[in-house]
Amino acid sequence: MTAEDLGMGFPIEKITEGRAKLTVPKLGEYVNASSDYAPSKAPVFYNPVMELNRDLSVLVVQAYQLRVEREISVCEPLSSSGIRGVRYAAEVKGLKNVLVNDISARAVKLACYNVEINGLGDQVKVENKDANCLLSCHGAPKKRFDVVDLDPFGSPVPYLDSAIRALRNNGLLAVTATDLAPLCGVHPKACIRKYGGKPLRTEYCHELAIRLLLGCIASSAAKQEIGIRAIFSHSTDHYVRVYVEIQYGAKKADESIKNLGYVLHCFGCLHRETVKSLLDQKTEKCPECGLRLDYSGPLWLGKILDSQFCELISSENAQRALRNSAKIARLLRNAKKEADAPPTYYVADKLSGKMSLPAPSIVALIRALQDDGFEAVPTHFNSRGFKADVPALKVQEVLKTLATSNS
């Protein structure tokens, strides 16, 4: 199959992902220098690294369908070559129809071909519109979707309002954010502009990124008298991804807003805590070392994972032979453990480096904290990280004890 055969005008190649046969841009043709990012240089965006993201998306949507126990409709308004939408149709049982869309005529042409070669023409419809226009056309009650999946290159914020309006009650909103520089505090002003919250450059900035994104979604939904409930979130590679169920009603919106607040952080002793307001006097000085506290927020302080929903995803993953099944299983094991843990996590190497001590094994450190009566669990955010309901100075004491016993 050549580009000329399809009339694409650019190099293409065949791949298989999940149960789908796909035609995508041949990325090797768009790398002229080591600094070139081929997916964005190709005429139609395609990123093979995001296969794990798409694998998890299929599992999550299937788990959601099993929970609601009805046929579901899905919209992917930023579909590019249609890979994700095609995979939904090919791999999710109980899926009624999929609408994929892209503003690029080239992307739409490729998406139509991918739908055709998988024999999904009766199930998948392809549109060529602006994403917000498409979603706004589905804001009426009888036109809404069960699932809307936002997976943009960069920030999802420009599409949130219309995506939320296009969902029916108890619908599922899936959102990816790849602009981690603002969300992780490298460009704080950009984060405040886009997400309405202040970030921090801390060792747990990827969790703050998820909470800032969820806070932004909660605020957008509340303006429309809609509440949200986060059922799954993860940080992987260069992006964060969240899945939330929306619930119509002013009371539900009010309940969501109650989950917004701030994370206070001390760059001296690494103490952290959460507060609902910055007006409290205790937000000024660290209660452990007395230094001035910095903050991140407003952001989401509620749960970012639901352990029962994680079990559903795990069950689906165990039944499939995806290329990333082993990675997904590891991610879900830690996610289930941290579902009920407090916000933020410690990183053993960061604490040890601050104290000029050798870094212990994460297993030994967690066990030592548990032996002292604290709740401590590993986190999927960082292989050297852990969540614990323990003051920073107490963690430092445990680290000193471990270093002494190992010397």
- DSSP characters over 46-102: --GGGHHHHHHHHHHHHHHHHHHTS-EEEEETT-TTSHHHHHHHHH-TTEEEEEEE-
CA distance 272 to 347: 13
Strands (E), 183-323: 226-236, 239-248, 260-265, 272-275, 294-300
Alpha helices in 292-347 (DSSP H): 307-318, 325-338
Q: What does each C-alpha distance from 37 to 32, 41, 47, 214, 227 come to in angstroms? A: 10, 7, 10, 28, 38
CA distance 227 to 124: 29
The per-residue pLDDT for 281 is 65
CA distance 385 to 395: 12
CA 134 to chain centre: 23
| Residue 95: strand pairing partners | 72
Residue with tokens 């843990």: 341
Q: Could you give the 3-state DSSP secondary structure of residue 174?
A: strand
Alpha helices in 225-306 (DSSP H): 250-257
CA distance 212 to 295: 12
Q: Could you give the 3-state DSSP secondary structure of residue 289?
A: coil
Q: Which of 337, 348, 344 is nearest to 385 (CA)?
A: 348
The per-residue pLDDT for 4 is 47
Q: What are phi and psi of 236, to 5 degrees?
A: -140, 135
Q: Which of 253, 196, 207 is nearest to 229 (CA)?
A: 253
Q: Any residues with CB less than 8 A from the CB of 40 and at least 6 apart, and which?
A: 153
Q: Could you give the 3-state DSSP secondary structure of residue 340?
A: coil
Q: Is residue 182 a contact partner of residue 195, using CB atoms and an 8 Å limit? A: yes
Q: Which two tokens stand for residue 164?
A: 């939320």
Residue with tokens 């070392």: 289
CA distance 17 to 80: 16
Three state DSSP letters for 3-55: HHHHCCCCCEEEEEECCEEEEEECHHHHCCCCCCCHHHHCCCCCCHHHHHHHH
**Domains present along the chain, CATH in parentheses:** 44-300 (3.40.50.150), 307-406 (3.30.56.70)
CA dihedral 74, 78, 82, 84 (to 10 degrees): -60
Kindly give the confidence (pLDDT) of every residue in the chain, 407 residues in length, as a single tens digit, with 9 standing for 90 and above: 444 456 677 889 999 999 999 999 998 888 776 666 778 788 898 999 999 999 999 999 999 999 999 999 999 999 999 999 999 999 999 999 999 999 999 999 999 999 999 999 999 999 999 999 999 999 999 999 999 999 999 999 999 999 999 999 999 999 999 999 999 999 999 999 999 999 999 999 999 999 999 999 999 999 999 999 999 999 998 999 999 999 999 999 999 999 999 999 999 999 999 999 998 766 789 999 999 999 999 999 999 999 999 999 999 999 999 999 999 999 999 999 999 999 999 999 999 998 999 989 999 999 999 999 999 999 999 999 999 999 999 999 999 999 888 75
The per-residue pLDDT for 39 is 81
Q: Which of 287, 141, 165 is nearest to 226 (CA)?
A: 165
CA distance 257 to 227: 8
Q: Any residues with CB less than 8 A from the CB of 92 and at least 6 apart, and which?
A: 58, 61, 62, 65, 72, 74
